[in-house]
Amino acid sequence: KNIYQNILVAKQVNEKLLAILIDPDKTKVEEIENISQKINQSPATHIFIGGSIVEQICIDSLIIEIKKHCHLPILIFPGHPSQISNEADGILFLSLLSGRNPDYLIEHHINSVDILTNSTLEIISTGYILIDGGNETAVQRVSQTLPIENTNIELAYKTAKAGEYLGKKLIYLEAGSGANHHVSLEMVAFVSKNISIPLIVGGGIRNLSKIEEIFKAGADIVVIGTAFENDSNFFNN
């Protein structure tokens, strides 16, 4: 159980981390061997597994298959207790701080306690902040919450800082999978400069130079989902 510790060490030495998101809604077990090979050839340091409508049984078999071919740490970020898989190494235990839906702030967490208590997952408390990416994404639809305006840097910062004060171990600025626009560099820079916990940035990042810019702006972990899903040679371009 040292995933978080390793993220902190990477932050201290300014080593940037890259997570590839696998959405179980869109990925078949038969495709995993090939996908895993591509991940092994990529600069990825972590695998995130998350989707909006998946069931735990599919996630279990997907993770078991990934582990046969790839040894990167696997973190799930479920939207519902039924999506928690004990096959993963850890869980981003997300509280949707940008929204005001009690289910995503605390209710699902309470309903996860029995599953988590009986699991070996490393539990990493994460403040999840949805930023408007220009289109309605699944997170917005499923959580029934409004994102923070992409120009409202102050609110994004205060939400992140409140998360830090509440004891979150990570902050995740999320434009949503398939977002038209990623979180702005200005917002990433301001939030990262003013919090002391590691910052994850994801949603709508579609080329390698953007990844670099987002790292330079201050993200500690960048998440790539759709771009890799659409082109498994994305990291060779």
* Binding residues vs ligand 1GP (CB under 6 A): 21, 174, 177-179, 202-205, 223-227
Burial of 30 (0-12, 13-18, 19+ CB in 10 A): exposed
Residue type, position 121, single letter: L
- Which residue carries 């699902």 as its tokens? 108
Q: Which is nearer to ligand 1GP, 99 or 120 (CB)?
A: 99
Which lies closer to ligand 1GP via its Cβ, residue 13 or residue 145?
145
Task: Quote the least distance from Cβ 96 to ligand 1GP, whole Å.
Answer: 12
Residue nearer to ligand 1GP on the CB measure, 195 or 201 = 201
Q: Is 209 annotated among the ligand-binding residues?
A: no
Q: Look up residue 170 and give its two tokens.
A: 């990570």
Minimum CB–partner distance for residue 108 and ligand 1GP (Å): 17
31 is in an annotated binding site: no
- Does the annotation flag 225 for ligand binding? yes
Q: Is 134 annotated as a binding residue?
A: no
Q: Which residue number, 23 or 89, has a Cβ lying nearer to ligand 1GP?
A: 23
Question: From CA 136, how far away is CA 114, in angstroms rounded?
Answer: 33
- Residue closest to ligand 1GP when measured from CB atoms: 202
Between CA 132 and CA 175, with CA 233 as vertex, the angle to 5 degrees is 5
* CA distance linking residue 205 with residue 207, whole number of Å: 6
157 labeled part of a ligand binding site? no
Cα 162 to Cα 144, 169, 197, 218, distances in angstroms:
22, 12, 12, 19
Map residue 193 onto helix, strand or coil.
helix
60: Cβ contacts below 8 Å, ≥ 6 apart: 85, 86, 87
Angle at 39 between CA 143 and CA 1, to 5 degrees: 65
> In this structure, what token pair is assigned to residue 233?
């040679």
Tell me if 52 is assigned to a ligand binding site. Answer: yes
**Nearest residue (CB) to ligand 1GP, 32 versus 179:** 179
